[in-house]
Structure 1
Amino acid sequence: MGLDSYVNTFGSVCKQRYGERIRKLTIDAKFTCPNRDGTLGKGGCTYCNVASFSHEHKTELSIQAQLNQGRERLSTKPSKYIAYFQAYTSTYDEYLVLKQKYDEAIRDTDIVGLCVGTRPDCVPEEVINLLVDYQQQGIDVWLELGLQTANNQTLKKINRGHDFEVYADTVKRARAKGIKVCTHLILGLPGEGHEDYLTTLDKVLGVGVDGLKLHPLHIVEGSTMAKAWRNGKMDLLKIEDYAFSVGELIRRTPKNIIFHRVTAYAKKPMLLGPDWCAFRWDGLVAIVDDLKAKGEQGSNLAEQKS
């Protein structure tokens, strides 16, 4: 049995809603980040690859051309897609610029959803209202917020430039207007362990959330963390520890919350470690094995928070 047998996944939810598996088409709309352009800082988060800052956008293609290219790359082509603004901080621009880019992304009739990835400190009320407008037009809207951890000390250590309270405020404002929020969490950040992941989940559930994305920490070339790793100052997350923690997070999460992702991988030579993160399926298989062995039923705490 696969992950869908144990977890309320984004893929299975979309299949139920649209009658088929639909795919996200990723877009690089040439946004930047306040933690890169000098507004907050220029070093970026310590896990980010800063070596590419001067040539960070890998395409000159228009949004429409990127969507077409994404369709062409798929071996199995669904009839519906989601436009996914994934690169950098996709709400970090003037209102009219954002509207022009989002409008272009949803112009085609086969685009039924809009996912916007961003930082929690870059979502002013006018952006939330813009997303509400798209939702009222029948577009399925998701606001994806990179939180990574609810521990303010860790957030400061990794140079995020915001705290948990800013995240909580943004989530409450967005969800109050009917916008679904998917929160990104990283397991394996320096100084954190299993109990810290559980604490972060509890705080996220306490604020309210509609979806989760879980990632193992990758050490990538060009990052501040890469220097620490080379100096022997960082421990890498083991696959069995990651699978154990993800299994516990899933079991503590109410069934109505959608998991958009439970692991991630990166390619060498950019990836320095952990080595298992170079393989797409290894982490997923380990997580499914944990769920098979221990079950997927939520705890009483999870049921109370649903």
Structure 2
Amino acid sequence: MQRINKYGLESCTHVILNLPGSDRLDVVETAKVLSAMKTTEAKIHALYIIKGTSMAEEYLAGKLQLVSMEEYIERVILFLEYLDKGIVVQRLIGRAPESHTEFSNWGEKWWEIKGKIDRILEERDGYQGRLCDYLNGKALKKHEII
């Protein structure tokens, strides 16, 4: 990331905030790392499971524990609040064709989930960067590329 930034290039980091085995601490750390690394843009995705994959087999066999939509929304809000306000967020949730997936967006429309995220942020007076203070970027200073 530092080499990309050195040349003034823009970068977009994609994150999935509801991977099996991940938790809210992972979400906070991801936001902190993206902020410290100075990515210019972020795209947030919810996990979707494509038919015919080994993950689909695990999901159908009940071996994967997926978080609820409500938990995903809480994770998105947490991520946004720890993410530097200067990072452009291109997406809060993605979508995949239902015909190709075993699991996608809890059976909800993407814009309905986005609307819920927006409403909760507004109700809580939350916003991107509200909790962002990750050593003022000093965490990576010693590793800067010259």
TM-score relative to the length of structure 2: 0.82
Say whether 1:219 aligns with 2:44: no
- How far off is 1:302 after superposition? 5.9
Change (3 A) 1:202 1:300: closer
- How far off is 1:236 after superposition? 2.2
Q: Which amino acid aligns with 1:279?
A: K
- Paired with 1:203 and 1:254, the residues of 2 have a C-alpha distance of 10
Structure showing the higher helix proportion among its residues:
2
| Rg comparison, structure with higher value | 1
User: Paired residue for 1:236?
Assistant: 66
Q: Which amino acid aligns with 2:83?
A: T
- How far off is 1:284 after superposition? 0.4
Q: 1:264 aligns with which of 94, 99, 121?
A: 94
- Helix, strand or coil for the counterpart of 2:89? strand
- How far off is 1:270 after superposition? 1.4
Q: Which amino acid aligns with 1:218?
A: Y
Give the number of the structure with larger relative contact order, counting CA–CA contacts within 8 Å between residues 6 or more apart.
2
User: Paired residue for 1:181?
Assistant: 11
Identity of aligned residues (%): 24
- Contact 1:240/1:286, CA 8 A, preserved across alignment: no
Q: 1:299 aligns with which of 131, 136, 141?
A: 131
User: Paired residue for 1:255?
Assistant: 85
Alignment of 1:3-152 (within 5 A): none
Structure 1 residue runs without a partner (length 5+): 1-170
- Helix, strand or coil for the counterpart of 1:281? helix
Residue by residue over 1:106-165, the C-alpha shift from the partner in whole angstroms, topping out at 9 and shown as x without a partner, is: xxxxxxxxxxxxxxxxxxxxxxxxxxxxxxxxxxxxxxxxxxxxxxxxxxxxxxxxxxxx
Q: Which amino acid aligns with 1:301?
A: D
Change (3 A) 1:277 1:185: farther
- Contact 2:69/2:105, CA 8 A, preserved across alignment: no
- Helix, strand or coil for the counterpart of 1:287? helix
Residue by residue over 1:76-133, the C-alpha shift from the partner in whole angstroms, topping out at 9 and shown as x without a partner, is: xxxxxxxxxxxxxxxxxxxxxxxxxxxxxxxxxxxxxxxxxxxxxxxxxxxxxxxxxx
Q: 2:25 aligns with which of 182, 188, 195?
A: 195
- How far off is 1:272 after superposition? 1.4
Change (3 A) 1:279 1:201: same
Q: Which amino acid aligns with 2:3?
A: R
Q: Which amino acid aligns with 1:209?
A: T
TM-score relative to the length of structure 1: 0.41
- Contact 2:41/2:87, CA 8 A, preserved across alignment: yes
- Helix, strand or coil for the counterpart of 2:3? helix
